[in-house]
A and B are shown apart, each in its own frame.
Chain A
Amino acid sequence: MADKVQLLTSIEKKTLIGKRVPKPDSRDKAIGRTRYINDMKLPGMLHGKILHAGVPHARIKRIDVSKARDLPGVHAVLTADDIPEFIFGMARDNRPLKGGKVRCVRDEIAAVAAESEAICDAALALIEVEFEALPAVFDPAEAAKDDAPRIHEGKDDNFNLKYHFGSGDVKAAEATSDVVIDETFNVHYVTHVCMGTSCAIADFDPDGKLTIYSQTQYPYNFKMDLAPALGMHAGDIRVIQPPIGGAFGSKLDVYPYEPVCVLLARATQRPVKLMFSREEEFINAPTRQPVRIHLRAGAKKDGTLTFRDIKCLLNNGAYTSWGPTVPYVMMRTFSSLFRVPDVNIDCQSVYTNNPYAGSFRGYGNVQATYALAIHTDIMAEALGMSFVDLALKNAQVSGEVTPQGAVLNECALAECLTLAADKTDFRAKEKEYAALRDAPGRFKRGIGMAASIHNAGGAKIHKSDGCGTILKLDDYARCTVITGASEIGQGIDAVLSQIISEELGIPMRDITIVNNDSAIAPWDVGVHASRTTFIAGNGAQRAARKARVQILAAASRQSNVPPEALDLREGWVVQEDGGVPVIKIDRILRQMHFSDEPELVMVSDYYEPPSEPEGKDHVGDMSAAYSHAVHVAEVEVDTETGEVKVLKITSAQDVGRIINELGLEAQIEGGIIMGLGYAISEELIIENGQVRNPNFRDYKLITSPEVPELDLHFIESHSSTGPMGAKGIAELPTIVIAPAVANAVHNAIGIRFHNPPMTPEKVARAIWEKNSSRAAAE
């Protein structure tokens, strides 16, 4: 059958893979058209607000909400007395509203639903609370003592989660070491500072089924985790994820404001929206997990690493979210970053009266890499080597298996190290700056390197790490893809469209991605762990290939060309060889649909990555791919004011294969900037359980003028398991940057900072102390 346009001689294969593709929603976001969850209003909607304890540890002697209930415009006031004792949280230690006593300043003791936020505020002010202060404990080492105040009743002590991993014989390995370095690091509290503050909208239907508009990153398990906090069946909860202003891990758990919002909706039988003010957000949103890391490790004279012996103490805070589980990832770095056979790791979290941490981009790896990459630099210095040479000496090669069982297929660590060093003239500059350390002059320059490893093919921390995809094509070759993968700003919408466009030979504009509604899209574990491009991308590719097979079979029947000799390009079925057009895709789809044996192209796929959960011994190949990144930081330190100016960051990262170069760059740039804040300016200052700087004035984010020159290099190792060879990329940039800056600062002024951030005061003080002790010695 001659199609008219068969006169066209040939259609060449064009690809969008590796191209610079704008996110489909970027225009609407740029012009202010996007309606974020924080902007949403439902008909008849009330507003909700929470009364937080404001004190770190106290018995609630009396709480009287009668005046608040009497305020006109107030529809409900709830305390723990008004609801059954719903217990939730991964350690089952949390409740939506706290009765009896409070354990940290965040504790939710009452909640109001009213006609407006202003009435809510007025009502909260009318609630009378009388506390009886209890002895409080804020330091995990203090809280670990026998006589420390108990945070949770009915527990023998304040210990919570405990982790141990051992491999080989560290004592024997230490005996063979020429150098042993023993250092302790204290990494601090930072918070996500999402542009959109925490927000939920709860709406019940007449059958008692709940729709929750949520910022969650994990809609399906979110239902499972939210249900016990409400006494509901998880099946009766529908989760809709409107556009949000950032998550970065902060929305990977259920936090009390969410069930509180729902309980207010249930009590009022009206939709209720609960949204944090910025101050509330700073005080009540999760933080990054602070950790005290004691790291003892050895090497032989030639630089061969011999052992690592590590102890971590985690400030659990009052309740358990993902924060105290970061050792799962910390241990991976300690056992897998460079080749080291003998490893012993012990981690312990201890309850205190501090606020509590959640997950945060990079998870425990930001903390672990901060310690380990500085420790490696100290080791290199002790051995008279450059960081890069010590790292290269111990860099694994493809196929190696780490002590925890990670199989490093397509390992590009050495390439990352070599490229980063070559691009920055690292070895020469490192020597040159170190030699100038004690020369006169107010400004000192330094260069520093850091490296790390992270899972890049999902992370099997649940029974399944999969993602469901449903794909259909209509009579006009328009494709709708219903994916479990959540879009929260990270860019999976563009990536999936590119992959499907590639497989089906249709333009991106003809592809619609549908997701972010648990009643529509199939299951996915959530957007976290740098997994979505890898997992959902594989799923989309597999679904598209099923559709492709169906289309090619039909085209083959019609054209008598074998399907393996056909291809889909530019909206056409073509002959693979020479690109001779056979039939337009929409035409064959209509023919398939309206034939004697009608068929529609609608396929589904559930992709489960080839990874395995860790055993109790913490061994297992938990990701389907792993990746490395190396950063080189160049800094200038003002030795008088202590200001650290980051001049340039050079990044070399194994990305597997570039899918969307624009999205990739944006992720890496954003990650670096976030990590720079961790390094030099951001700290949530918590003293005696109170957040001291809950505002943008005193919580110092990196602003645009301080962003240094960024020189980004992508290494394409072509993952055998990733979609088109891609690996997950989003967390590594945040992980690697801070220790690179710390090593650069050391290179400049000869001082180590084991307690980030390297604020001007901290640096100035350290320089002053160094000069004072030097003067005293002379």
Chain B
Amino acid sequence: MQVKPSGTLDEYLAPVTIEEAARALADGRASVLAGGTDLMLQAANGRTPYRGRLVNIRRIAELRGAAITGGRVRIGALTTVTDILNHAELAKAVPVLRQTADKFASNQIRNMATIGGNICNASPAGDMIIPLLALEAEVELASWDGAKIRTREVALEKFFTGPGRTVMERGELLTAVSFAVPEAGHRVRFAKSGPRPALEISTVSAAFAATCKDGVTTNVRIVLGAVAPTPIRARSAEALMEGAECSGDLAARAAKAAAGEISPIDDVRASAWYRTHLTEVFVRRLIEDVCHG
């Protein structure tokens, strides 16, 4: 075994407000602890060395919880995957989030892992990201500008720049993710590779969203995970379906198109061939489920 340095911690802070947190992060020399399910492993194996100061944001009560107001869903960054699984109102308004949370890691990890952490980890295989992209979510970022809190909103689709990389600047804290409640008839579904029902990292994951009305498909979004450096929208497959009649071999054609938009790798989990194959299978199944189910 090669021993890798993992950085050291010389300071620990546990703020209770967003402002305190933003100030603690301001110099960019801090690691943020939320659920810790990624951070602890990555610090231990050297992939994400600690930055000297650990800022535990878990005591910031206002960061946890989900609410639906004014036709918009807002989920605080500290909301755990278990919270999402158990949130009745959310499950009713956006069933795909519960569907995805149910396939996320294991019970123990869901109890700790937060939605903000899953987004900030920026894994192309991050499960919660996939339906959020299909919901065209935005993230809220907060930082300390020296005198006050500065916030900005970024479309989730523009958020990821590569595996583990985002547009977030050092010193910024992701505070929430939000999206419009899907309109009536707009359905969103998620699929990921097995075969294990728990503790399975996605070889391929996919989400499909569309409104199928009077035999015509509109508002189509196809999102794919683990098949490119970031989660991606399959834009040409979406274009193929937008306004098209959902009949005949449309699902198969769109699935083929989606499979052509990915840039999968060969790794220990799967070959590029299998990732392409599964992408096509999942997209076709999801379309059939949403449009004909």
A→B interface (CB under 8 Å): 52, 54, 121-122, 124-125, 277, 279-280, 283, 640-641, 643-645, 680-681, 685, 692-693, 696-698, 700, 703, 705-706, 760-761, 764-765, 768
Contact of A54 with B193 in the complex, beta carbons under 8 Å: no
Minimal Cβ-Cβ distance residue in B for A106: B1
**Complex Cα gap A393–B273 (Å):** 44
**Complex Cα gap A692–B266 (Å):** 13
Q: Which residues of B contact A283 (CB under 8 A)?
A: 1
Q: Contacts A641-B194, A697-B201, A705-B197 hold; do A125 and B1 have CB atoms under 8 A apart?
A: no
Minimal Cβ-Cβ distance residue in A for B278: A641
Show 20 A/B contacts (Cβ-Cβ < 8 Å), sorted by A: A122-B3, A124-B3, A125-B4, A283-B1, A640-B281, A644-B195, A680-B195, A681-B195, A693-B268, A696-B199, A698-B201, A700-B196, A703-B197, A703-B199, A705-B196, A705-B198, A760-B194, A760-B274, A764-B274, A764-B278
Q: Which residues of B contact A700 (CB under 8 A)?
A: 196
Q: Which residues of B contact A124 (CB under 8 A)?
A: 3
Taking the complex as formed, is B292 at the interface, i.e. its CB lies under 8 A from any CB of chain A? no
B→A interface (CB under 8 Å): 1-5, 193-199, 201, 268-271, 273-274, 277-278, 281, 285
Q: Which residues of A contact B271 (CB under 8 A)?
A: 761
Q: Which residues of B contact A680 (CB under 8 A)?
A: 195
Say which residue of A125, A685, A698, A705 sits within 8 Å of B3 (CB atoms).
A125
**Complex Cα gap A698–B125 (Å):** 14
**Complex Cα gap A752–B74 (Å):** 51
Minimal Cβ-Cβ distance residue in B for A693: B268
Extra contacts besides A641-B193, A703-B198 (8): CB < 8 Å = A641-B194, A641-B281, A681-B195, A697-B201, A698-B268, A761-B270, A764-B274, A765-B274
**Complex Cα gap A696–B278 (Å):** 23
**Complex Cα gap A705–B196 (Å):** 8
Contact of B1 with A761 in the complex, beta carbons under 8 Å: no
Contact of A280 with B195 in the complex, beta carbons under 8 Å: no
**Complex Cα gap A283–B277 (Å):** 31
**Complex Cα gap A761–B3 (Å):** 33
**Complex Cα gap A693–B194 (Å):** 17
**Complex Cα gap A239–B196 (Å):** 40
**Complex Cα gap A54–B270 (Å):** 24
**Complex Cα gap A681–B196 (Å):** 10
Contact of A280 with B197 in the complex, beta carbons under 8 Å: no
Q: How far is the CB of A443 from the nearest CB of chain B, in Å?
A: 13
Say which residue of A54, A644, A685 sits within 8 Å of B1 (CB atoms).
A54
Q: Which residues of A contact B268 (CB under 8 A)?
A: 685, 692-693, 698
Q: Which residues of A contact B196 (CB under 8 A)?
A: 681, 700, 703, 705-706
**Complex Cα gap A693–B268 (Å):** 7
Q: How far is the CB of A563 from the nearest CB of chain B, in Å?
A: 60
**Complex Cα gap A277–B1 (Å):** 9
Contact of A54 with B274 in the complex, beta carbons under 8 Å: no
Q: How far is the CB of B230 from the nearest CB of chain A, in Å?
A: 20
Say which residue of B4, B274, B281 sits within 8 Å of A761 (CB atoms).
B274
Q: How far is the CB of B206 from the nearest CB of chain A, in Å?
A: 12
Q: Which residues of A contact B277 (CB under 8 A)?
A: 764, 768
Minimal Cβ-Cβ distance residue in A for B2: A54
Q: Which residues of B contact A760 (CB under 8 A)?
A: 193-195, 274
Q: Which residues of A contact B269 (CB under 8 A)?
A: 698
Q: Contacts A692-B268, A761-B270, A764-B277 hold; do A643 and B194 have CB atoms under 8 A apart?
A: yes
Q: How far is the CB of A193 from the nearest CB of chain B, in Å?
A: 14
Q: Which residues of A contact B2 (CB under 8 A)?
A: 54
